[in-house]
Amino acid sequence: MSHLRAGKGTVALVEQAKRGELDLSEWDDEELLQGRRRDRKGRFSGKRPSIIPASLHQELWKRKTSEVSKLLVTNVLEATNVLINLATNENVDDGVRLNAAKFLFERVMGKTPEKIEVEVEAPWMVALRGAIVSVPHDQDDTIDVDPWEDDKPRAIDRRGGLRRA
């Protein structure tokens, strides 16, 4: 088993992250990406850490997805116009036009849900099906029974047969 080695600064950083003591609002994106702070001269000195706390990754992810959302919101009208132009321009390949129209339609009307049916047979049903015995077609479906002449209750003897009570 290989062991992961971490310097004192990395260990301290991981411990601070575990305790929730890191104020990541002061860190820039490159520091989050590197997993360490810049020195006084604004450079990264020393070895890169081999361990980067999850909280640093999560903060960077939160920032980047926020940037993407802002970019999409500010450009949604222009992007929509591009899609409409692709879908309605007769000089564009039919496949491209169809894909643009389909994309617009699904965003406005909602995507048609795909119905998936899954059938799973319960174990008790499998056992029951295995216990059912079919009667051959050449035999009569009736069972010949000799009824008791009186209505007295019966008991089962040790061999499994019926006896009078």
**Domain residue extents for the chain:** 8-109
**What is this structure's pTM?**
0.50
Cα distance between residue 88 and residue 82, in whole Å: 10
In this structure, the strands spanning 154-156 and 162-164 are antiparallel
**Cβ contact 120:129 at 8 Å:** no
**Cβ contact 29:60 at 8 Å:** yes
Token code pair at residue 101:
């129209």
Token code pair at residue 18:
């575990």
Q: Which of 51, 50, 21, 49 has its CA nearest to residue 37?
A: 49
According to the model, what pLDDT value does residue 54 have?
Answer: 84
Amino acid at 29: D
According to the model, what pLDDT value does residue 1 have?
Answer: 46
According to the model, what pLDDT value does residue 47 have?
Answer: 83
Spans of the chain, pLDDT less than 70: 1-10, 135-165
